[in-house]
Amino acid sequence: MRNTFRQAIIDDINSRNIDDELQEGLLDLFESAMKSVAATLAHEAKFETSDFSTAKKRGCGGFTLLLARVRPDSRYEWFGAFQRGDERLDVIGHLE
């Protein structure tokens, strides 16, 4: 599987207490994490957004991201949940 040939597509989002600018930054982090994890055999991954180099600049630090396959047999469809206090963003996406 080559990440360089994959395009990340956001299929659905559900947010609570997230403004548009923050949401855009989190979606970028989701796409990056999805591409990285899809190249492995992992079914789930957990990240702290502060570990991403661009997170602090975009105000995305301090979130926890849980990333999981939507279906166990698919490495292309992913669910992501960002959580920081009462802020939450759920994302479903896939790779083409």
> 3-22: per-residue pLDDT in tens?
455 799 999 999 999 999 99
For residue 87, what pLDDT is reported? 97
pLDDT for residue 66 = 98
Residue 81 vs residues 4, 55, 73, 87: alpha-carbon distances, Å: 24, 16, 20, 11
More confident site: 94 or 2: 94
Closest CA to 93 of 35, 18, 23: 35
Domain span at residue 79 reads 3-95
- Structurally, how many domains does the chain consist of? 1
Q: Is the pLDDT of residue 75 over 70?
A: yes
Mean pLDDT of the 51-72 span: 92
Task: Name the more confident of 53 and 6.
Answer: 53
**Measured CA distances, 37 to 3, 47, 59, 76 (Å):** 10, 11, 23, 10
Beta-sheet pairing, 64-69 with 87-95 = unpaired
